Amino acid sequence: MSGVVFDLKGRRALVTGANRGIGLATARLLAEAGARIAVHFHSDEVLAQEALAGLAGRDHCLLQADLADLEEARTLADRAADQLGGLDILVNNAGIYEPHDITALDPNEWRTAWQRTIDVNLHGPAMTIAAAIPYLEREGGGYIVNITSRGAFRGEPEAPAYGAAKAGLNSLGQSLALKLAPQGIHVLNVAPGYVMTDMTREYLVGAQGEAIRGQSPHGRVAQPEEIAQVVLLAVSGRADAMTGGIVDVNCASYLRP
């Protein structure tokens, strides 16, 4: 989007999982556009402090929370609004991908893997959204962007809870786009394919890397900054008609009907 200037001065954004990958790229772009950022992280405070220090502008803040703990997820928006003086944008980016073979795990292992994946990738974002809505309403409207996955459509045979959670997040976002429209709140889902991040690096640089890149006719995967550009457009006020949509960003590696 070279040459296009986005002005988010005065806007306040909570970005979950903002200490690395897509979340970090998004926090950087929003900060460059003038927004103040609440950088959420789960466990790596050193990395989070580095992310915070690298943001353009000033008066950003750092917030730790385990989104698998639904009470922590519920209070995250309150803490962000308290630190920033309000909230205009919520980007639900944090997520986990943990392979869990339903044919190999015993029932207790399966239940544990399923529960944590669903909690972090769906229940946690849902609780954060619910707590954020009053702040967005107070400002006369705002934006919720959910980072989902192409796995919601093509399936995730090695991590079925991941695919199920992302499908649920898509559906939640679309439901809320309808429900929250009268309050002026816009909701968009962004569904990447493989993105070069810490979470996928072992796959992309390993033996599977060539095959993964070969899923795209361009022979590549996306970069975090490309996903962040879509988020920036979504919250810029210049493309509000996208609300309720699911934007695929997967290098044509999966084309859904």
Q: Does the active-site annotation cover 162?
A: yes
Q: Which is the catalytic residue, given 143, 162, 194, 203?
A: 162
Report the candidate in 23, 253, 14 with the shortest Cα–Cα distance to residue 147: 23
**Per-residue tokens: 189:** 């889902």
CA dist list (Å): 199 to 11, 20, 22, 114, 222: 29, 9, 10, 18, 13
Whether the Cβ atoms of residue 145 and residue 234 lie closer than 8 Å to each other: yes
CB 109 within 8 A of CB 163: no
146: its two tokens: 């959910």
For residue 125, which of 88, 94, 151, 150 has the smallest C-alpha distance?
Answer: 94
The rounded Cα 173 to chain-centroid distance in angstroms is 12
E strand spans, 52-141: 61-64, 89-92
Q: In terms of Cα–Cα distance, which of 65, 87, 71, 59 is closest to 18?
A: 65
DSSP strand pairing (246-249 vs 142-147): unpaired
Q: Which residues are catalytic?
A: 162
